[in-house]
Amino acid sequence: MSSRSVIGAHLKGFLLVIALFVIVISIIAVYTTTAATEFGIKKDDIQVMSLTHLVKEMDWQNDYEEQKIADNLLQAQIDTLSLTIENNFKNLTPASTVIQNLAKYKSHISLLHADKTVVGSLANLSSNVELERNRYESSLVSISETSKIIGMYELITILLIIGAGLGGISEIAKNKLIGYPAFAVGGVGLIILFLLILTPSILTGTHISSH
């Protein structure tokens, strides 16, 4: 067999490998594009939830401030009624009415100063504010982590497309020198993909599953 025949056979083998490589990374590029889209949808959902938590936090904060003002007003009323009882201002308000009002105000104060298990207490409202704030902050972290994963999938897709493009040019031009960069670029994309799937924390610093 002549050297030309041997070279031709090697070139055909190489082009066959290139063709298979292009097919494989093209299919994987479709997968990574779909994955990036799915994570984009997930990110949108998390952003909606984060806004919901933010609005709830603001609502609970407003309720807390209102009840705090009510607490101060009630305390002022209690002080006033206590002085009334002490000075026995019977000509202004009957003693029984003063005592009833005092008991009612103290009951409201007791409710406001109850522990966080009591709905409507200051501690309960403060706990709700803190809970929604933590959920909002957690959602912001999730958005950041999801954005990193989307960015990685987009990078992988670009590398795979470049690799497939170079491979296709190599096959058409029957040029091995163009084929080697195709393997290199596409191979880098595949390595990053495997790392992203198996150990996402290495690439993105996140523990969110990337598949």
Domain ranges (residues) in the chain: 3-204
CA-based diameter of the chain, in Å? 128
Are 179 and 69 a contacting pair, CB within 8 Å? Answer: no
* CA 109 from centre of chain: 39
83 near 148, Cβ under 8 Å? no
Which CATH code for domain 3-204?
Answer: 1.10.287
Structure tokens at 74: 């009630």
pLDDT tens over the chain, length 211 residues: 455 565 566 668 788 889 999 999 999 999 999 999 999 999 999 999 999 999 999 999 999 999 999 888 888 887 777 777 666 655 555 566 767 777 787 788 888 888 888 888 889 999 999 999 999 999 999 999 999 999 999 999 999 999 999 999 988 888 888 888 999 999 999 999 999 988 888 777 665 555 5
